[in-house]
């Protein structure tokens, strides 16, 4: 069964706000796509951005609904992956979260519900938020298969997915000295999703790169007017990955997220 389109659109609008706030000057876009479960049901996917905390913008948008022992068929389940960031500390980190809602409202569990992901119990009580199930270096999570099982009163529903591959900017490299020009070249790799943009930053200066120019995985950006000195290149990508389900089906399932990376450079 599919989520109502109005509910999906409102969730996407809120997600856009969250992504924009986290963008540090870059832009990211949230999209919808169908997700087919292992049971043959089709749900809708909304891109959500949880950042580096357990509480998302969506969680704060409306009060949670308190539910005791809801069956999987009463819940919409979402898997959210956030990869990287716009600083050296966060760019190599990936966060995985699972969120449950009922008719578009985030759920606060009050019964004997249980969530277990890859053999680890996840705390889901007393929290009206997205539940963080993993946060670790991207190198240890990318390409890894995850299985999260929601159980209540002898009924189980399992979500299975593979963590996407993180995008990279391969050239220029970290701390490179980059000559300013009207066609500064960039080489990048972005596989598991839709590349939203690459932005060059200087002191009080910003320029958006032209993607796939001159070819796939390449971009050029006009930096001729940048002042000499420290700057950076940042990349933003929406993530597309499939989630399947086993056992009792949820009312709907979804997946999505955002990937970001940056390289510090010196404009010369």
SS3 assignment, position 136: strand
The DSSP string of 74-119 is G-EEEEEEEEE-SSTTTTTEEEEEEEEEETTEEEEE-SS-EEEETT
pLDDT at site 132: 93
Average pLDDT, integer, range 87-109: 91
pLDDT at position 236 over 70: yes
pLDDT (tens digit, 9 = 90+) per residue, 132-158? 999 999 999 999 999 999 999 999 999
> Can you say how many angstroms the Cα of residue 101 is from the centroid of all Cα atoms in its chain?
18
CB 233 within 8 A of CB 167: no
pLDDT tier at 38, thresholds 50, 70, 90:
very low
pLDDT at site 24: 35
**7 vs 103, residue with greater confidence:** 103
Peptide bond into 30 cis (omega under 30): no
pLDDT at site 61: 60
pLDDT at position 188 over 90: yes
Q: What is the pTM of this model?
A: 0.76
How high is the mean pLDDT of the chain? 80
pLDDT (tens digit, 9 = 90+) per residue, 51-89? 333 344 444 567 889 999 999 999 999 999 999 988 777
Tell me which range, 5-14, 51-60, 114-123, is most confidently predicted by mean pLDDT.
Answer: 114-123
Q: What distance in Å separates the CA atoms of residue 47 and residue 81, rounded to the nearest whole number?
A: 9
Average pLDDT, integer, range 225-229: 96
**215 vs 124, residue with greater confidence:** 124
């Amino acid at each position: 069964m599919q989520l109502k389109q109005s509910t999906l659109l409102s969730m996407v609008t809120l997600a856009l706000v969250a992504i924009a706030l986290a963008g540090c000057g870059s832009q990211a876009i949230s999209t919808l796509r169908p997700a087919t479960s292992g049971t043959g049901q089709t749900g809708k996917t909304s891109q959500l951005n949880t950042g580096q905390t357990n509480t998302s913008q969506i969680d704060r948008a409306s009060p949670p609904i308190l539910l005791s022992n809801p069956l999987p068929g009463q819940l919409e389940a979402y898997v959210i992956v956030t990869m990287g960031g716009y600083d050296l500390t966060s760019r190599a980190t990936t966060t995985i979260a699972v969120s449950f809602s009922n008719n578009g409202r985030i759920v606060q569990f009050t019964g004997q519900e249980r969530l277990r992901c890859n053999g680890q119990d996840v705390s889901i009580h007393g929290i009206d938020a997205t539940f963080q199930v993993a946060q670790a270096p991207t190198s240890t999570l990318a390409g890894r298969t995850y299985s999260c099982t929601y159980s209540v009163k002898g009924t189980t529903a399992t979500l299975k997915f593979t963590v996407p591959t993180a995008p990279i900017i391969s050239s220029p490299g970290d701390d490179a000295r980059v000559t300013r020009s009207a066609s500064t070249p960039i080489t990048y790799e972005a596989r598991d999703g839709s590349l939203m943009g690459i932005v060059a930053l200087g002191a009080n200066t910003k320029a958006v790169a032209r993607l796939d120019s001159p070819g796939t995985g390449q971009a050029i950006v006009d930096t001729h007017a940048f002042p000499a000195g420290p700057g950076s290149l940042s990349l933003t990508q929406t993530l597309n990955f499939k989630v399947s389900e086993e056992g009792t089906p949820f009312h709907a399932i979804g997946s999505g997220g955002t990937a970001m990376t940056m390289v510090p450079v010196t404009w010369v």
